[in-house]
Amino acid sequence: MKKVTEELVNEITQGKSVAEYLASNRGEFLDIPLSAHLKELLQKKGMRVSQAADKSNKGEYIYQVFRGIKNPGRDVVLCIALAMKLDLEETQHLLRIGRMACLDARNKRDSIVIFGIARGISVVEVNDILYEFGEECL
C-alpha cells in the first residue's frame, strides 16, 4: 500500500470510471484472507498458534480461525491482537483486513481496549477493566 485512504477516496469520487479506478489501484486493496494475515503476524512475532490460543482465552476456536475454517467476530480478533501483543496500528490493520470496525477512542469500550493494547496487558486484565467500568467483556 502506497496511497493514503484520503487519496483513494478522492480518486474514486473524482474519477470517471470504477473499472479504471479498480485497475489502477489493484495493489491498494486489502484482499488478503484474515487467516493468512494472522499467520504472517505469528511469524513476525515469533509465536505459535498454541501460544495465541492460550493467551487469547478462546482455546480451540483460535485454531479454526488460523486455519480459515471459522470467521471470527470483532471481539475474538481483539483477543488475538492482545494475545499477540500487537500494537495499535497492527490491531487496526488486522481489523480492517477482517472487514471490522476499527477501534474508536470516542467509544468507551474501545478506549479501554486501546488502553490495554498500549500497555501490552492480557485479555484477562482488559476484561477486568471492562467489567469494572460496566462494559461487556471480550
pLDDT value of residue 1:
59
What is the torsional sign of CA 30, 34, 36, 42?
positive
Q: For 6-65, how does the pLDDT look when each residue is reduced to its tens digit (9 = 90+)?
A: 888 888 888 888 888 888 888 787 789 999 999 999 999 999 999 999 999 998 999 999
Claim: this prediction has a pTM higher than 0.75: yes
Q: What percent of the chain has pLDDT over 90?
A: 76
How would you class 82 by CB atoms within 10 Å of its CB: exposed for 0-12, middle for 13-18, buried for 19 or more?
A: buried
- Residues in CB range of 130: below 8 A, 6 or more apart: 109, 112, 113, 136, 137, 138
Residue type, 39: K
Domains identified in the chain and CATH numbers: 1-31 (no CATH), 34-132 (1.10.260)
